[in-house]
């Protein structure tokens, strides 16, 4: 009995330096950091988000993200944004106003803000509130050898700046942002949501299939020269494709693929087997893809539909936008489909088969989208950094199905 009385009970404590480490280790890319903050606006039922890059050509600039979403009450700010690993999105997986499927469950928006700059200011207001609330966070306070819970910041009541919505201001940006870097982020944000022409099922399930009427993101560069809107310079390519490949996994876990080409007079349907030993893709369901295929050096195949100059423009675009992108529950997952990414092994197979076939096939011949629907995340789970999926059996089968389907069609 005396021995038990001498036993002490202890629990984990957290060093404040963890915040700094998480910011850099969980959010490795600027594109991911900005997109996480924009996803928060989407989850808050915003229809318009303004992203202003202020004096960002040098270190120390400012990034302001302002939305017209629902905003936060004081309790929502404390129990949501200010709570690390908040369970709010687990308990409330859809948004209040538009019933949107929320972007994710990792809760790393705050670490994205820390990754980008030294100070974070949040001003937020709800439609019902008389005033707005404001909090300013100095990330430099989270230094090593301090207890995490000992660091606090005051919440102020301030005058409303808009009827409802949230303004996130990140000051003291840690890096300078070149035009090329902002363009890269802008293009990624444009591609953040699954294209509305990919799948009717996604529209029915109310996934993140958007157009400018339901969710619009405006990028602006602000400097001493004034405010300049960042415009989308991409061209539409999908109605010019030589062929369109579509595939899905049926209820029996078999792979079905169709190929249509008006120019070549093709309209076929194929069944894709996994391997000789296992005919079905047993780990897959709710998978669908659509891929637009181009051959650039044979303009005669396109007839009058595509001119030679247009084909050259598309070929140039393919260097940065070609490949097969992956969307999970309506949101794009990096790095799949980025330049030099070859998650389907198409480039690898093409390099070994080169000379054996007369039909070109690599990522630059493809503008593709793969849709996976997995609301619980039990089958396809993103890594903690939100950059890639855990490469389990389902992911490997997905890669095999997509690759085998494309190879079978071309052969």
Instruction: Please report whether residue 7 resides in a domain.
Output: no
Write out the residue range of the structural domain in which residue 371 sits: 238-410
CATH of the domain at 42: 3.30.565.10
The pTM of this model reads 0.71
253 and 352 together in one domain = yes
Domain boundary among 229, 254, 287: 229
Instruction: Please report whether residue 180 resides in a domain.
Output: yes
- The pLDDT assigned to 286 comes to 83
DSSP element (H, E) containing 120: strand 117-125
300 and 398 together in one domain = yes
DSSP element (H, E) containing 404: helix 393-410
CATH of the domain at 309: 3.30.230
Instruction: Please report whether residue 365 resides in a domain.
Output: yes
Peptide bond into 335 cis (omega under 30): yes
- The pLDDT assigned to 90 comes to 66
Tens of pLDDT, residues 325-355: 999 887 888 889 988 899 998 888 877 765 5
207 and 356 together in one domain = no
Tens of pLDDT, residues 271-322: 887 665 667 788 998 889 999 999 998 888 888 888 888 899 899 989 888 9
**What is the count of structural domains for the chain?**
2
207 and 314 together in one domain = no
- The pLDDT assigned to 393 comes to 92
68 and 145 together in one domain = yes
Instruction: Please report whether residue 8 resides in a domain.
Output: no
DSSP element (H, E) containing 314: helix 308-321
285 and 220 together in one domain = no
299 and 336 together in one domain = yes
Length of the chain: 411
Domain boundary among 195, 229, 263: 229
- The pLDDT assigned to 197 comes to 53
99 and 217 together in one domain = yes
Rg of the chain over Cα atoms, rounded to whole angstroms, equals: 24
Q: Which residue(s) pair with 249 in the sheet?
A: 255
- The pLDDT assigned to 335 comes to 87
- What value, to the nearest 5°, has the Cα angle with vertex 67 and ends 202 and 97? 50
At a CB cut-off of 8 Å and minimum separation 6, what does 117 contact? 62, 63, 139, 170, 171, 172, 173, 174
Instruction: Please report whether residue 383 resides in a domain.
Output: yes
182 and 262 together in one domain = no
- The pLDDT assigned to 398 comes to 93
At a CB cut-off of 8 Å and minimum separation 6, what does 14 contact? 147, 148, 149
205 and 247 together in one domain = no
- The pLDDT assigned to 22 comes to 75
Residues of the chain below pLDDT 70? 1-4, 28, 85-90, 104-108, 194-213, 231-236, 274-278, 353-358, 384-386, 411
172 and 31 together in one domain = yes
Instruction: Please report whether residue 64 resides in a domain.
Output: yes
CA distances from 99 to 5, 92, 206 (A): 54, 10, 8
C-alpha closest to that of 199 among 208, 189, 187 = 208
398 and 323 together in one domain = yes
Instruction: Please report whether residue 10 resides in a domain.
Output: no
Domain boundary among 212, 229, 246: 229
At a CB cut-off of 8 Å and minimum separation 6, what does 359 contact? 295, 410
CA separation for the pair 306, 94 (Å, rounded):
43
Instruction: Please report whether residue 6 resides in a domain.
Output: no
């Amino acid at each position: 009995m005396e021995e038990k009385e001498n036993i002490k009970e202890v629990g984990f404590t957290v060093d404040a330096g963890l915040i700094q480490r998480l910011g850099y280790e969980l959010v490795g890319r600027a594109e991911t950091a900005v997109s996480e903050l924009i996803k928060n606006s989407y989850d808050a039922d915003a229809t318009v988000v303004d992203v202003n890059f202020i004096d960002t050509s040098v270190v120390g600039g400012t990034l302001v993200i302002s939305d017209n979403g629902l905003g936060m009450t004081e309790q929502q700010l404390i129990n949501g944004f200010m709570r690390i690993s908040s369970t709010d999105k687990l308990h409330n997986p859809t948004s209040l106003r538009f019933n949107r499927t929320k972007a994710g469950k990792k809760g790393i928006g705050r670490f994205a803000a820390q990754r980008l700059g030294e100070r974070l200011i949040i001003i937020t207001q709800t439609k019902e509130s008389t005033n707005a609330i404001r909090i300013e966070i100095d990330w430099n306070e989270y230094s090593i050898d301090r207890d995490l819970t000992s660091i606090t910041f005051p919440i102020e009541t301030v005058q409303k700046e808009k009827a409802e919505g949230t303004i996130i201001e990140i000051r003291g940006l840690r890096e300078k942002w070149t035009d090329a870097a902002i363009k890269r982020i802008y293009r990624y944000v444009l591609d953040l949501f699954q294209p509305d022409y990919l799948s009717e099922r996604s529209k029915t399930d109310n996934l993140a299939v958007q157009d400018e009427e339901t969710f619009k993101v405006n990028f602006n560069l602000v400097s001493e020269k004034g405010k300049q809107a960042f415009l989308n310079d991409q061209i539409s390519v999908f109605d010019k494709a030589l062929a369109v490949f579509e595939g899905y996994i049926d209820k029996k876990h078999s792979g079905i693929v169709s190929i249509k080409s008006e120019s070549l007079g093709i309209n076929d349907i194929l069944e894709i087997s996994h391997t000789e030993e296992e005919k079905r893709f047993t780990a897959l369901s709710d998978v669908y893809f659509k891929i637009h295929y181009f051959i650039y050096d044979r303009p005669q195949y396109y007839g009058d539909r595509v001119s030679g100059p247009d084909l050259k423009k598309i070929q140039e675009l393919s260097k940065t936008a070609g490949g097969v992108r992956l969307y999970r529950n309506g949101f794009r997952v990096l790095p799949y489909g980025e330049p030099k990414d070859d998650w389907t092994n198409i480039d690898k197979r093409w390099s070994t088969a080169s000379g054996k076939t007369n039909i070109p096939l690599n990522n630059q011949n493809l503008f593709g989208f793969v849709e996976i629907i997995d609301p619980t995340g039990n089958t396809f789970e993103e890594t903690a950094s939100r950059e890639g999926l855990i490469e389990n059996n389902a992911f490997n089968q997905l890669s095999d199905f997509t690759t085998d389907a494309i190879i079978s069609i071309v052969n």
